Structure 1
Amino acid sequence: MTADLPASTPVAPLTPRTAAPARRRVLAQARFEAGTLLRNGEQLLVSLLLPAMVLVGVHASTSPSLGPGRRIDVAVPGVLALCVISSAFTSQAISTGFDRRYSVLRYLGVTPLGRGGLIAAKVVATLLVELLQVVVLGGLGLALGWQPSLAGIPYAVVFLVVGTWTFVALALLLAGTVRAEAVLALANLIWVLLLVLGGVVVPRTELPGSVGGVAALLPSAGLADGLRSALVLGRLNVPALVVLLGWATIATALAARFFRFDD
């Protein structure tokens, strides 16, 4: 047994602790999420090394056809679109799926960060990774002779942001409804399918037969077409933006409705 404290012993009053401001909580989690993605060898391979290999390979070859225009000018916007898909969809789907499996999402959801803050942090982290991708792969493209339209850079930024929103929403929809092992397989399979048939690096107009018509309705082609219009022609591709916004709206609504924080 412990002796009671003498009545004269001072007792320190309890000091109420308050959570950090929401912006600081989101940024702190975003830094953690971005660091986790960049330290993961598999995700780094998908986010940087494979797009770089695709860019060099397309530049060095004459097949497949990329349509009119300088080959490197058409290739770089497609590779940047591939980077968005890699970071915003594939990487986020896999990391979120396993966070959900191991109850990380459930624990974070009841902290001051909250569910909304967690989702915001994932979007910010994805944008940080994409900024690194644009710097690295844009620099590689410039070294290979890429000459982007400066007038179209603001339009390209719009497509990068909307594309990130779209594919993060799709990633959360997949990761929040399917078991982690299936997420891993599906996310990588979808990445390959979009690369080959989604109008990403190879413009949808160069795809065979009806494949190009179907690809026009996909968010991958909307993002790639928008970036090519911006960085090659210096124009805003309104139909491509409408396709992206449609996918973003639908995916966000479905993810909000069906996402489960517990596996």
Structure 2
Amino acid sequence: MTTTASLPAPALTRILRHAGYETRIIVTNAEQLLVSLILPLLALGALTTTSVLDGIADTRINAATPGVLALALVSVGFTGQAIQTGFDRQYGVLRALATTPLGKSGLILGKITAVAIVALLHVAVLSTVAVFLGWQPKATFGWAVLIGVLGVITFTALGLLIAGTVRAQATLAITNIGLVLIAAIGGVLMPLTRLHDALAGFVQLLPSAALGEGMRDALAHGHINIQATIVLAGWALILVAAAIRNFRWEN
């Protein structure tokens, strides 16, 4: 009598199954979900009650909302996933996955897919609040979706690259400080035209500025920003490849 070993599921099936698993973990962590919404909501309140974005669009809420949505994508993908994965790695939670057919690529792509699903919830909540405050997007919605997806891929991959290469405590510090810098001077909330020329010349090459400028052009002005899309797509490819190549299952 002979037995036949079961074959592993196709790669796409493995990725989608892991994405479902990761999604359940994220949505059941109510504390982390709230934390990833607090900073964007605070930013929305601050930007609509001050004159810092006056002249960017016809109203303050129209000027602020695209950047706030971009910040939410960064928050849930970059900070949230990096911290969770960093501590999972430190405590050996990922050790079992290392022995499965999922592999590093399946882990990374599954987590990115899960973040994209959860990001939809964040966008829905923030958009509802913004509409209540008078937001009227001059929308190229299809392009905004493309920019948003590229942003999720880019910043989730960056977070996983950090989480997979340094210790959890360092990941916590790096990503929290990084999120503050991205929000303050990374071109997400503040258009490049509001930054010092020397700083703007550097920041415009970063994925944060590409995400912020792309979302503003699509939702505040109804324009398609090809340059921002190319920059963001390039960063997405580089960071996904780097995360898959360098991710380590254990410290």
With the length of structure 1 as denominator, give the TM-score of the two structures. Answer: 0.86
- Structure-2 change in CA distance of 1:90 and 1:66 (3 Å): farther
Q: Which amino acid aligns with 1:172?
A: L
Letter in 2 for 1:26: I
Q: Deviations over 1:134-191 (max 9, x none)?
A: 11111111111111124x0000011011111111221121111111110011100000
| Alignment-derived partner of residue 205 in structure 1 | 193
Q: Go from structure 1 to structure 2 and tell me whether the alpha carbon gap of 1:103 and 1:42 turns closer, same or farther (over 3 Å shift).
A: same
Alignment of 1:79-158 (within 5 A): 79-150=68-139, 152-158=140-146
1:46 Cα deviation from its structure 2 partner:
3.1
Q: Provide the aligned length of Structure 1 versus Structure 2.
A: 250
Q: Give SS of 1:210's match.
A: helix
The letter for the 1-side match of 2:173 is A
- Residue of structure 1 aligned with 2:181, choices 162, 182, 193: 193
Residue number among 164, 168, 177 corresponding to 1:176 in the alignment: 164
Measured after TM superposition, the shift of residue 23 of structure 1 is: 4.6
Change (3 A) 1:131 1:94: same
Counterparts of 2:245 and 2:8 in 1: how far apart (Å)?
28
- Distance in 1 (CA, whole Å) between partners of 2:218 and 2:166 is 36
The one-letter code sitting in structure 2 at the alignment partner of 1:254 is: A
Q: Which moved more, 1:32-41 or 1:83-92?
A: 32-41
Q: Are residues 210 and 66 of structure 1, via their aligned partners in 2, closer, same or farther at CA, if it must alter by over 3 Å?
A: farther
Q: Secondary structure at the match of 1:149?
A: coil
Unaligned segments of structure 1, at least 5 residues: 1-12
Structure 2 unaligned segments of length 5 or more: list them.
none
Identical residues among aligned pairs (%): 48
Partner of residue 220, structure 1: 208
Question: Over aligned residue pairs, what C-alpha RMSD do you find?
Answer: 2.2
Larger radius of gyration: 1
Alignment of 1:17-36 (within 5 A): 22-36=11-25
Does structure 1 conserve the Cα–Cα contact (< 8 Å) formed by 2:105 and 2:244?
no
In structure 1, what is the Cα distance between the partners aligned to 2:149 and 2:217? 16
Question: Which of these residues, 131, 134, 154, is aligned with residue 166 of structure 1?
Answer: 154
Partner of residue 53, structure 1:
42
Report the residue type matching 1:63 in the other structure.
S
The one-letter amino acid paired with 2:17 is A
